Amino acid sequence: MVFDQQALSAPERTAIVEGDRTWSYGELKAGSEMLAQYVLHCNAGRNAPVAVLLPPGFTLVSSLLAIFRAGQIYLPVDAALPARRLHAIFEQTRPAVCITTASLAAVAEGIISKQAAYACRLIVLDGSQAPLVRHFENSTCLAETALTNLPAMDLPEVRPEDANYIFYTSGSTGEAKAILGCHDSLSHFIHWEIREFQLDQQCRVSQLSQFTFDASLRDILVPLCTGGTLCFPPADNRNNMPALIAWLEQQQVTLMHCVPSVFRLITRELMAEGEQGNKVRLPCLRHVLMAGEPLYGKDILNWRSTGAGHVELVNLYGTSETTMAKTFHRIADAPYDAAQPVHAGKPISNALIAVVNNGQLCRPGEIGEIYIITPFMTKGYYKNEVLTRSVFVQNPLVKDREEIVYRTGDYGMYLEDGSLEVLGRRDEQVKINGIRVELGEIRQAILRVPGVTNTEIIAVKNAAEENELICYYIAAKEMDDTLRTHVTVELGHHLVPSAFIRLDEFPLTINGKVDKKALPKPDRIVITDEAYVSPATLTEEKLEAIWKDLLGLVRVGTAVNFFKVGGSSLKLIKMVSQIFHELNVSIAFADVFANNTIRQLGAFIDTAVQAGATTIIPLPARAYYDVTPAQRRLWIYDKTSGQQHLYNIVHAVTLEGDIRPAALEQALAALMARHEILRTTFLNVGGEPRQRIHPAGKITTPFTYLDRQQHLQLYGGVPSIIHAEQQRRFDLETGPLFFATLVEMAEDRYCLIFNWHHIIADGWTQDVLLNDLLRLYRASRDQQEQALNPLRFQYRDYAEWANKQLEGKRLEDLERYWISRFAKPFVPATFPAERERNAIRAGQGASRDFLLDKEITDQLHALTQLSATTSFMVLHAIVNILLYRYTGNPDIVTGTPFSGRANPELQDQAGLYVNLLPLRMTIAEEDSFLAVLGSTRECIIGAHQHQDYPIDMLVQRLSLETRNGRMPMFNVLVQSQNNLECPLVPPDGIAVRQMALSAATSKADVTFNFQERGKEILASVEYDTELYSEKAMAAIVENFIRAARQLTALPGTLVKEVTITRAAGEAEEEKDFINMLQQL
Tens-place pLDDT, residues 568-580: 665 776 788 788 7
Q: Is the pLDDT of residue 988 over 70?
A: no
CB distance 288 to 314 below 8 Å: yes
Q: Is the pLDDT of residue 118 over 70?
A: yes
pLDDT (tens digit per residue) in 689-717? 999 999 998 888 999 999 988 888 888 88
CA-CA distance, 139 to 148, in Å (whole number)? Answer: 26
CA-CA distance, 795 to 769, in Å (whole number)? Answer: 14
Q: Using pLDDT thresholds of 50, 70 and 90, give the confidence band for residue 1.
A: confident
CB distance 790 to 908 below 8 Å: no
CA-CA distance, 869 to 944, in Å (whole number)? Answer: 14
CA-CA distance, 221 to 194, in Å (whole number)? Answer: 10
* Residues 563-590, mean pLDDT to the nearest whole number: 72
Distances (CA, A) of 712 to 443, 687, 706, 715, 721: 63, 44, 9, 5, 10
**Percentages helix, strand, coil for the chain, rounded to the nearest 5?**
40, 25, 40
Q: What's residue 565's pLDDT?
A: 67
Give, for 870, the enclosing helix (H) or strand (E).
Answer: none
Give, for 654, the enclosing helix (H) or strand (E).
Answer: strand 648-657
* Residues 642-659, mean pLDDT to the nearest whole number: 86
- Residue 469's DSSP bridge partners are 459
Report the Cα–Cα distance between both ends of the chain, in Å, rounded. Answer: 29
CA-CA distance, 130 to 128, in Å (whole number)? Answer: 7
Distances (CA, A) of 975 to 574, 822, 979: 19, 21, 8
Q: What's residue 330's pLDDT?
A: 94
Q: Is the pLDDT of residue 1064 over 50?
A: no
Q: Using pLDDT thresholds of 50, 70 and 90, give the confidence band for residue 437.
A: low
Q: What's residue 493's pLDDT?
A: 55
pLDDT (tens digit per residue) in 76-111? 998 887 777 788 889 899 999 999 998 899 888 988
Instruction: Classify burial at 426, counting beta carbons within 10 Å of its beta carbon; exposed 0-12, middle 13-18, buried 19 or more.
Output: exposed
CA-CA distance, 348 to 334, in Å (whole number)? Answer: 22
Total residues found in the chain within this entry: 1080
Q: What's residue 1059's pLDDT?
A: 83
* Residues 496-517, mean pLDDT to the nearest whole number: 79
Instruction: Specify the range with the lowest mean pLDDT, choosing from 173-177, 751-755, 1012-1016, 1071-1075.
Output: 1071-1075
CA-CA distance, 793 to 973, in Å (whole number)? Answer: 32
Q: Nearest 5°: phi and psi at 684?
A: -100, 110
Class (C level, CATH) for 629-798: alpha beta
CB distance 225 to 235 below 8 Å: no
CA-CA distance, 952 to 931, in Å (whole number)? Answer: 31
Instruction: Output 986 or 252, whichever has higher pLDDT.
Output: 252
Q: What's residue 174's pLDDT?
A: 42
Q: What's residue 1038's pLDDT?
A: 93
Report percent pLDDT > 70 for the chain. Answer: 89
Decide if 538-614 and 629-798 have a common fold.
no
Q: What's residue 1072's pLDDT?
A: 43
Q: What's residue 531's pLDDT?
A: 55
Query: Minimal CA–CA distance to 950: which of 974, 980, 923, 915?
Result: 915
Query: Minimal CA–CA distance to 404: which of 368, 376, 381?
Result: 376
Q: Using pLDDT thresholds of 50, 70 and 90, give the confidence band for residue 965.
A: low
CA-CA distance, 837 to 854, in Å (whole number)? Answer: 38
CA-CA distance, 670 to 189, in Å (whole number)? Answer: 78
Q: Using pLDDT thresholds of 50, 70 and 90, give the confidence band for residue 1065.
A: very low
Q: What's residue 296's pLDDT?
A: 86
Q: What's residue 642's pLDDT?
A: 72
Give the distance between the most distant pair of CA atoms in the chain.
122
Q: Is the pLDDT of residue 986 over 80?
A: no
CATH of domain 806-832+840-983+998-1054: 3.30.559.30
Q: How many CA atoms lie within 13 A of 581 on its CB side?
A: 12
Q: What's residue 850's pLDDT?
A: 92
Contacts of 32 (CB under 8 A, 6+ apart): 61, 62, 63, 64, 65, 66, 69
Distances (CA, A) of 301 to 313, 340, 714, 842: 11, 12, 80, 71
Instruction: Classify burial at 37, counting beta carbons within 10 Å of its beta carbon; exposed 0-12, middle 13-18, buried 19 or more.
Output: middle
CA-CA distance, 305 to 316, in Å (whole number)? Answer: 22
Q: What's residue 65's pLDDT?
A: 95
Distances (CA, A) of 935 to 323, 818, 898, 915, 971: 52, 16, 18, 22, 21
* Residues 162-173, mean pLDDT to the nearest whole number: 77
Q: Directed axis angle between helix 215-224 and helix 183-196, to 10°?
A: 60
Strand bridging mode 990-994 / 21-24? unpaired
Q: Is the pLDDT of residue 139 over 90?
A: no
> Other C-beta atoms within 10 Å of 612: how many?
9
Q: Is the pLDDT of residue 1074 over 70?
A: no
Strand ranges for 442-524 from DSSP E: 454-461, 467-474, 499-503
Contacts of 112 (CB under 8 A, 6+ apart): 90, 98, 118, 120, 122, 136, 139
Q: Is the pLDDT of residue 171 over 60?
A: no
* Residues 1006-1015, mean pLDDT to the nearest whole number: 86
Is 538-614 a CATH 3.50.50.60 domain? no
Q: What's residue 982's pLDDT?
A: 52
Query: Minimal CA–CA distance to 769: which of 681, 678, 647, 898?
Result: 678
Q: What's residue 431's pLDDT?
A: 52
CB distance 601 to 592 below 8 Å: yes
Instruction: Output 550 or 370, whichever has higher pLDDT.
Output: 370
Distances (CA, A) of 18 to 34, 218, 230, 252: 21, 17, 9, 14
Instruction: Specify the range with the lowest mean pLDDT, choosing from 247-261, 375-389, 677-691, 839-853.
Output: 839-853
**Distance from chain centroid for Cα 527:** 21
Q: What's residue 522's pLDDT?
A: 61
pLDDT (tens digit per residue) in 348-365? 999 999 999 888 899 888
Q: Where are the domains of the chain?
A: 538-614, 629-798, 806-832+840-983+998-1054
Q: What's residue 1076's pLDDT?
A: 43
Report cis status (omega within 30 of 0) of the bond before 95. no
Highest mean pLDDT among 85-94, 249-258, 437-446, 603-612: 249-258
Q: Using pLDDT thresholds of 50, 70 and 90, give the confidence band for residue 278.
A: low
To the nearest whole number, what is the mean pLDDT of the chain? 85
Q: Using pLDDT thresholds of 50, 70 and 90, give the confidence band for residue 114.
A: confident
Instruction: Output 752 or 993, whichever has higher pLDDT.
Output: 752
What is the secondary structure of 801-816 as a DSSP string? Answer: HHHHHTSHHHHHHHHH
Q: What's residue 613's pLDDT?
A: 46
CA-CA distance, 176 to 77, in Å (whole number)? Answer: 13
Q: What's residue 529's pLDDT?
A: 43
pLDDT (tens digit per residue) in 14-64? 999 998 899 999 999 999 999 999 999 998 888 899 999 999 999 999 999
Strand ranges for 840-964 from DSSP E: 845-852, 891-898, 915-922
Coil, helix or strand at residue 406? strand
pLDDT (tens digit per residue) in 509-560? 766 678 887 888 764 334 444 456 888 888 898 899 888 887 766 678 888 8
Q: What's residue 426's pLDDT?
A: 63
Supply the DSSP symbol for 598.
Answer: H
Residue 783's region, left for phi above 0, alpha for psi from -120 to 50, else beta, is left
Q: What's residue 1078's pLDDT?
A: 44
Rg value, the chain, Cα: 37
Strand ranges for 759-890 from DSSP E: 845-852
